[in-house]
Structure 1
């Protein structure tokens, strides 16, 4: 059961990333971000209230969840921007490398990673380098590709910050951690939209993006349930394979093709993520 739930979570996350990235090619990224985060926020607030989950008793959990949310939404914004201009098959695995950040922070503060985690970190670095080596005949495409890689790397750091900062609050309350993580940045996103005044999507598109937010939230819930029914290391590895769905959808729907060295890089990056999660 745990394996099925973790795989369903990975598929849901990958689908949500692909749909949001696709929408970002037509709709301003802050608008996409606002609708996706807002759609999930409405649902998780309702869940937190209906479940009568107690709020944080420690102020440190409140601020950590809030900071994690700001880090996560910055990461998501960079991620959607990267998906909108770059090759999704390359961007998604690079962004998933954020799982390595807590391990790196642990090493800096004195932790000794396992051999599996250490090998995973090496594989991630090698994979990112290989996956980044895109060749373009057109100078504009090459520049867009470089921007996408930089944005993907920034998003990886932001996602890593989210994982590290929300770990302790989630132990106290998963629903309220998600409420703060999604809600903290909403005023900032709204302010950016108010300043830029971008063209707003149609009602149908807006509802679709809100639905993407609920798919993303559902993936989080599936992982949480899977953790209660199976081994954490197995669930973490399988749940962390969400870029595979994004890569597959990009290949089937967008007909993306990547060179063999990049395929090797993608495989190394994903394998490294799995190793770090397992370690």
Structure 2
């Protein structure tokens, strides 16, 4: 039950984060959005981690924390770039495959992929291609669906890598320290350099979206970590349901309409994710 509740909660907060990221990324560069988000979230994650005390980590756990941080930051960079070029309804379902990929990796480490699972993954890829290549009835200025799909795929793979690391750390490492690596990596490689170059400033309206993004990101990863400690595959797959939720929110809030082909692509991706969840 814990994994079910936290999985759906993760989906909800990820969907809110996807909307916030889309608005921020279309008004500022992806590196600025990530740098500010990492800085803002660090303001409460770092004190939280220090109050919990410094844990005794094994070499393997230290490595997993590094993988988690790098996967998250570079995943964000790809996804926020994708949102600059594509609509939420296209990008979100592709990014949502991170949960299925993470569940798949967690269950087949050291083993070959079953043919049925390979077929389901092929269906998901087909959905991505259809969504990226289909006609958009209401494109926004600068929209490039193919670019968006490619960046979203890269982001999904990087996120999956980070989620597997988080899942393996959950239950053994304090939650605050699971959240810490991505913030430290973001501040180290983006926030500080951009600050020194004088390129960290963004419009006030964009800053509001970044604050929301930083907040829901921490909440989403927290709920995911709690659920993953109970059942990683279930939590990961349920978290992927953020895709249709994000698409609906984008339509209701910002009138982002999808074409028929894009809707077909979304449905294929979500069907593939659902079947993959059952198989796991």
User: Which TM-score band (shorter chain)?
Assistant: 0.7 to 0.9
Partner of 1:92: 92
Contact 2:68–2:182, Cα closer than 8 Å, also in 1: yes
Deviation, 1:211, is 3.4
**Higher deviation after alignment, 254-263 or 117-126:** 117-126
Matched, 1:254 2:223: no
Contact 1:96–1:156, Cα closer than 8 Å, also in 2: yes
Once the two structures are superposed, what CA deviation does each residue of 1:15-69 show, in whole Å capped at 9, x if it has no partner? 01111211111122211111222222332223323334x5242022112211221
Partner of 2:39: 38
Partner of 1:168: 168
Contact 1:5–1:222, Cα closer than 8 Å, also in 2: yes
Superposed, 1:78-227 pairs within 5 Å as: 78-102=78-102, 103=104, 109-113=110-114, 115=116, 117-118=117-118, 120-135=120-135, 144-173=144-173, 174-190=175-191, 193-194=194-195, 197-198=198-199, 200-202=201-203, 205-206=206-207, 208-226=209-227
Compared CA separation, residues 213 and 199, structure 1 to 2 (3 A): closer
Contact 2:7–2:239, Cα closer than 8 Å, also in 1: yes
Partner of 2:15: 14
Partner of 1:60: 60
Give the Cα separation in 1 of the matches to 2:248 and 2:44: 28
Deviation, 1:80, is 0.8
Give the Cα separation in 1 of the matches to 2:78 and 2:70: 12
Compared CA separation, residues 146 and 63, structure 1 to 2 (3 A): same
Compared CA separation, residues 220 and 143, structure 1 to 2 (3 A): closer
State TM-score, norm by structure 2.
Answer: 0.83
Once the two structures are superposed, what CA deviation does each residue of 1:117-165 show, in whole Å capped at 9, x if it has no partner? 4454233122212211222699997872222121112112211221233
Compared CA separation, residues 142 and 133, structure 1 to 2 (3 A): farther
Compared CA separation, residues 138 and 244, structure 1 to 2 (3 A): closer
Give the Cα separation in 2 of the matches to 1:122 and 1:272: 9
Deviation, 1:90, is 0.4
Contact 1:56–1:62, Cα closer than 8 Å, also in 2: no
5+ residue gaps, structure 1? none
Partner of 1:241: 241
Give the Cα separation in 2 of the matches to 1:141 and 1:105: 40
Contact 1:125–1:269, Cα closer than 8 Å, also in 2: yes
Q: What is the count of residue pairs matched by the alignment? A: 276
Compared CA separation, residues 63 and 237, structure 1 to 2 (3 A): closer
5+ residue gaps, structure 2? none
Give the Cα separation in 2 of the matches to 1:216 and 1:171: 20
Deviation, 1:73, is 0.8
Partner of 2:50: 49
RMSD (CA atoms): 3.2
SS of structure 2 residue aligned to 1:184: helix
**Higher deviation after alignment, 244-253 or 35-44:** 35-44
Deviation, 1:206, is 2.9
**Higher deviation after alignment, 245-254 or 14-23:** 245-254
Partner of 2:29: 28
